[in-house]
Every structure is written in C-alpha cells, then in structure tokens.
Amino acid sequence: MHLRPLVTGLTVGFMSLLLLQISALTQEPPANTDVKDGWVADRTPWGDPDLQGIWSSKTQTPLERPDNLADREFLTDDEVSTLEQQTRENPGRDERSERGTVADVEGAYNDIFSTFFGATVVETGRTSLIVDPPDGRVPHTAEAKARLDKQAARRRATSEVADGPEDRPSDRCTGWSLPCTSPLCAFSRIVQTPGAVTLYYESGHWGGAYRTIPLDERPHLPSHVRQWFGDSVGRWESDTLVVDTTNFSAQTSFQGSNEDMHLVERFTRVNSDLILYGATIEDPTTFSRPWTIEMTWSRPAEGQQLIFESACHEGNYALTSILAGARALETTR
C-alpha cells in the first residue's frame, strides 16, 4: 500500500439493530492490539474493527488513467502539491466572494455538494482509481465497446431535442450503481452493529441510499431475485471488511455492466482518519477480465460531521419544460 503522509485533521429493522447495539455496549471491549506505525486500531464494544463515522471520498483522481500519464502509476509529491494548490486557487463555481453577496451564497451552496473543491488527489498519489489492469483502463470487450458507443451516440443525438424522459437520464431519479465512484458520491456514513454493517451514501442529485450488509455468512439470494444494489454478504478477514455482492438488477449498470456483475469490496481502516477502499468488478459479458479500483475515504474536518441531503426530485418543472421546449423547436424547423 502506497500512502502519502496524511493531514490529521428502516423502522422495524432499525429497532432490531438498535437493540443489538445496546446489548453489545454491555460487553467488555477487547484490548486494542493492532498497532501500525504507532496507531492503535479502534474496536467496537463487541470486538470488530471500527469503521464507523462519516467519510469523504472526494478526489481529483480520474477512474481511468489519462493518455498523457499512460506509463505512470503514481504522481510525484510535487505534482500532487501543484494540483492541490491549483484547486484551492481556482475554485470555479465554488468561488466565495464578498460575504453576503449573491455570489457568496451561491458559492457556499455549491461547496456543500461539490466533490472537487477542497478535494486532494487521492492519498495514494495514483494517476487513476483503477489499479489493475496495470494500464489503468477499463477492460471492455469489443462487443461492450460497440454497445456503449451506440448508447453514447444516442445520447448525443438527443442532447438538444429529447423524444421522451428516457432520453434525459440525468434528469431522472434513477439512482446510482455500485461501486459508487462518481464524483457526486462524496460522503458516506458507516454504522455497525453485531452481525451487520449499514452504509448510507449521498450521491448528489442521484439521491441517497441505504445498504445493510449481514455478516452471518448466509448464502446469496436465489438467482432469480434481483435488486438494484444486488445482494451483499460480508465477512471479516483480519481487519478488513470483505463484501461479496451478486444478484444485481438488469436496470443497474457500472461502466456498462449488467445483472451478471460480481462485485467484491474491501474496507480497511489504516489510521484514525482514513479507510482504504478497494473493489474488484467482474462481468464476462462486458469486461475481458476482472478489474480493480482503489480509493481512500477520509474523515471530514471537525465540525463537518453532517451530511447535507441533495435529494433527487422528479416532480419539478425541469424535465417537462425540457420536453416542451423540444416539441416547440420541432414546430419551427
């Protein structure tokens, strides 16, 4: 693991989890024995590694490696510092001007939901989130590339004049898919109880979502049962939470994958302010080989231990106005 120096810095179900948590608090916590570089790993009262809290996955690192960095896996420390300085000095739409002005209010609002402003290059200093294959690129099959190119052409053709709501997926509340690597997936909350881990993800205008992962080594659901976030089963491997997910819905997709995707995620807390997150994606109908990403989840600064909801809302006027405008344009052509 290559890490840069860090700056310290469901009603019935819910009641069941709460009762389990209260019961666990009466147990005698085990001694913290995992010491790495002077840091003592935190443990829950029932002895599992403690991953709880709000975590930020803000990053400037792209999913795939840019062409100009094709032969480089890591940036130098100077390059990282330069990129971080450029972000601070050029906040773009997040610019905060004189206090109390309209621009100040708009910048403050954008800063809440922006995933780039204030983000550092991921602490590994990598040039892409993809760590395998070594070229840092998604290993699409030829058939998958052709399918995705056709979909992209359709989006371009309907970018100005949409035939219907399905031509404007970004204006629909369709949600997001695992693994959540989108720049909008900035904040997550992890809550643990004996036998389960629950995650809440906030993903900008895509909306938020809960995901509960049982740790009782149960088998996956029957193959005909399909769910938007799949069926997740977790286990501990030493201090790493390993989550195996199958049974995805045909309506969900990650980089072109379909319901055949098999996802294995790993959550490892490597110090008090950092979780190393890894995910291996496999789908032989879309990818020529399994591939792996690596991200860091860092703890926000004190005073920022809140997640601001930016829920998706289809009941507004945006989509109907876009479609009405498209029909009006058609009558003038």
Summarised one tens digit per residue, pLDDT across range 130-185 is 999 999 999 999 999 999 998 888 777 766 666 777 777 666 677 778 898 876 67
**Which has the minimum average pLDDT: 26-30, 93-97, 102-106, 306-310?**
26-30
Mean pLDDT over 288-304 rounds to: 85
Element (H, E) at 269: strand 262-271
Strands (E), 89-143: 130-132
pLDDT score, position 73: 93
Residue 98: phi, psi to the nearest 5?
A: -55, 135
- Does a structural domain hold residue 98? no
Residue with the bigger pLDDT between 302 and 282: it is 282
pLDDT score, position 230: 94
- Does a structural domain hold residue 115? no
For the four alpha carbons of 318, 319, 324 and 329, in that order, the dihedral sign comes to positive
Residue with the bigger pLDDT between 45 and 58: it is 45
Q: How confident is the model at residue 187 (pLDDT cuts 50, 70, 90)?
A: confident
Residue with the bigger pLDDT between 215 and 201: it is 215
Element (H, E) at 131: strand 130-132
Q: How confident is the model at residue 36 (pLDDT cuts 50, 70, 90)?
A: low
Q: How far is CA 6 from CA 50, 76, 275, in A?
A: 19, 15, 12
Give me the CATH number covering residue 183.
2.40.128.20
**To the nearest whole percent, how much of the chain has pLDDT over 90?**
40
Q: Residue type at 97?
A: S
Q: How far is CA 27 from CA 47, 51, 155, in A?
A: 9, 19, 56
- Does a structural domain hold residue 300? yes
- Does a structural domain hold residue 106? no
Extract the tokens encoding 83. Answer: 């990129």
Q: For the segment 258-283, what is each residue's pLDDT rounded down to a tens digit?
A: 899 999 999 999 998 899 999 999 99
pLDDT score, position 235: 96
pLDDT score, position 91: 62
- Does a structural domain hold residue 90? no
Q: Identify the domain containing residue 36 by its residue range.
A: 11-59+131-329
- Does a structural domain hold residue 113? no
Cα radius of gyration rounded to whole Å, the chain: 22
Q: What is the mean pLDDT of the chain?
A: 79
- Provide the Cα torsion 43, 47, 49, 55; round to 10°: -60
- Does a structural domain hold residue 86? no
Highest mean pLDDT pick, 113-127, 276-290, 293-307: 276-290
Strands (E), 156-261: 185-193, 196-203, 208-214, 231-237, 240-246
pLDDT score, position 28: 41
Number of domains in the chain: 1
pLDDT score, position 164: 74
Longest dimension (CA), the chain: 75
**To the nearest whole percent, how much of the chain has pLDDT over 70?**
71
- Does a structural domain hold residue 126? no
Residue with the bigger pLDDT between 108 and 68: it is 68
Task: State yes or no: pLDDT of 47 exceeds 50.
Answer: yes
Residue with the bigger pLDDT between 289 and 210: it is 289
pLDDT score, position 284: 95
